[in-house]
Chain A
Amino acid sequence: MSILQINNVTMQFGGVTAVNNLNIEVQEGKIEALIGPNGAGKTTAFNVITGVYSPTKGNVVYNGENITSLTPDKITKKGIARTFQNIRLFKNLTVLDNILIANHLRLKSNFLSCTLRLPWSYKEEMQMRKKSEMLLDKLGLLALKNEIAHSLPYGEQRKLEIARALATDAKILLLDEPAAGMNPSETMELSSFINTIRDEFKLTIFMIEHHMDLVMEISEKIYVLDFGQLIAEGTANEVKNNQRVIEAYLGVEEDA
């Protein structure tokens, strides 16, 4: 069953068409990937899904509901959370605070009862802390909970960003180049990490990635984008041998 559908989405900035008539169906519980050369429009596609841009044409459907015109915060509330290509943590706050902030969207108490620490708000806050610490524990970040986010090593920051997205109780994670800047051993660790959280939290994962070994290893379906156009889709092997994909990455021979 498809949980996320991108139907005929076109995104234009002035005269530039960043994404042209894109159709993607992400299946529930799968790990799927969006690849393509630089400037192919992958991040633009992510920004359309998460509500940063509203598309020129087409729509985005999540769980049968049209979410095209919603703002990013509302889309996150529905269960789609994302990470960013260049890490965007709340740098000067602690690891635990980063996770707690991601819990804020499910808060029921209003700001007066929170400020006055009324019993029900206090209880909710304590539950929130417990839940956040459990999440950090599961992901192996609990020992770092009082560290300032920007003081963490790079790999841990990536992990924390994924943890923060998870803390919003997301059903789908959109990962924008999670392995960017990682060495091969960190990349391998990340791939097993992504697999683990998918199984543990029953997630659907849709990611943009440049590390082909990571993409080929874990994704069950791959979409290839070039100049805003979807040029191929299928399993790792199908995509690898597709003539148009090879041309997009390596160029076309002129002499033919």
Chain B
Amino acid sequence: MIDKLNNKKNKIYLNILLAVIFAIIIILLDTERIGDNYIRRILNLSAIYTIVSVSMNLVNGFTGLFSLGQAGFMAVGAYTVAIFTVPLAERAKIFYIIPQNPVLAQIELPFVIALILGGLLAALVAILIGLPVLRLKSDYLAIATLGFSEIIRIVFTNAKSITNGALGINRIPPMPTMWVFFGVAILSVLLIWLLINSSYGRAFKAIREDEVAAEAMGINLFKHKVMSFAVGAFFAGIGGGLYASLLASVDPKQFYFTVTYNFLLIIVLGGMGSISGTVIAAFVVTSGLEVLRFFDEPLTLLGVNIPLFRPGFRMVIFSLLLMILVLFFRNGLLGQKEMSWKLIFDCFNKKKPRKKTDKGGTAQ
């Protein structure tokens, strides 16, 4: 039966079927016929994490730049949405200690415009940071981007008349539907996928594979690195803007540099250089962290209270799962491959001899 499905026409039908099932599930969730607010919130968060992780994979996995600045760029997008979409009437209640900057206090923008503006500002910040930083390589680049991400957060903590400092900004209008999050996520992933499969995407991959050879082939390394970095930051900014509206509030603590590690985790698990792997990992990790909350609750088994089950224990389990995954799937879920029906069918099809893997990544 699997052989029958494994042709081009049927694969298109399968794709359509999958898209329809996905749409129906979201519609059912969205109209509150299934699930509850908790599930909706986790799924929306997963969609946001997908955007930011895929954007990070563009920089880290496809261009080969070890950058850890994603939380900072998210913060730029989040604050832009927060500053410009809170209704004017509410502003005074939020900025009650230090009044808002008089110019900003008069501007209110529609969500879509604020979101795009947030992305553009994040890209602008990335270009400014990238000019000095992208001359560095590997670990040094990671440290420098991490540092800049913290600088952004600290600037936001102290620019009180713009960001309301450590108090943060709340009363951000909520989104009426899940489609905002999922629509933007689908569009972002699609755009990044198109970029990666264009001539510019190939140039990014060439830089990842071999900088010296890429430059010898006429690729301007610096220009392309800045470009990848800025596009990555743009989508991180978009993700940040959605994050602000999902939580309805922003404050600097949400963008502590440890947030970046979540995304790093997702792209390493999904596969550096695999978009579909990143999408899957974003949903698995985000919802996985919630499912594992079970371990944080006290557990009484046959009248005995199991002492391990207490707040924080889920992170121990989570770390163990991670270690197992990294030990046995060193290239992540998909490595540099993309999910396709062929991959799934080949997995089920035991008749064909399995292709030899020469990149020591799979379990023996």
| Chain A residues close to B by CB (< 8 Å) | 50, 52, 71-73, 76-77, 81-82, 84, 88-93, 97, 100-105, 107, 109, 111, 114-117, 121, 125, 128, 151, 164-165, 168
User: Which of B200, B209, B219 has the largest number of chain A CB atoms within 10 A?
Assistant: B209
CB closest residue in chain B, given A128: B199
Query: How close is B187's CB to chain A, nearest CB, in angstroms?
Result: 12
Q: Which residues of B contact A164 (CB under 8 A)?
A: 217
Q: Does B198 contact A (CB under 8 A)?
A: yes
B227: chain A residues at CB < 8 Å are 111
Contact assessment for A104 and B219 in the assembled complex, using a CB-CB cutoff below 8 Å: yes
A81→B336 contact, CB < 8 A? no
Complex Cα distance A77/B223, Å?
15
State how many angstroms separate the Cβ of B273 from the closest Cβ of chain A: 8
Interchain CA distance A100-B202 in the complex, whole Å: 8
Give complex CA distance A114, B197 in Å: 9
> Is B339 at the interface (CB under 8 A from chain A)?
no
B205 x A168 contact (CB < 8 A): no
Which bucket holds chain B's interface residue count?
20 to 34
The reply to whether B216 and A81 contact each other, CB–CB distance below 8 Å, is yes
**Shortest distance between the CB of A131 and any CB in chain B (Å):** 13
B interface with A by C-beta (< 8 Å): 191, 194-195, 198-200, 202-203, 205-206, 209-210, 212-221, 227, 336, 358
The interface residues of chain A lying within 8 Å CB-to-CB of B205 are 90, 93, 97, 101
Given A88-B212, A89-B213, A76 contacting B202 (CB threshold 8 A): no
Contacts of B203 in A (CB 8 A): 101, 104
Q: A93: which B residues are within 8 A, CB to CB?
A: 202, 205-206, 209
Contact A76 B216 (CB under 8 A): yes
Contact check, A90 vs B200: say whether CB atoms are below 8 A apart.
no
- B195 near A115 (CB under 8 angstroms)? yes
Q: Give the interface centre of A82, A104, A107 by most chain B CB atoms within 10 Å.
A: A104
Smallest CB gap from A113: residue in B: B198
Q: Which residues of B contact A73 (CB under 8 A)?
A: 215-221
| Shortest Cβ gap from B22 to chain A (Å) | 24
B198 pairs with A111, CB closer than 8 A: yes
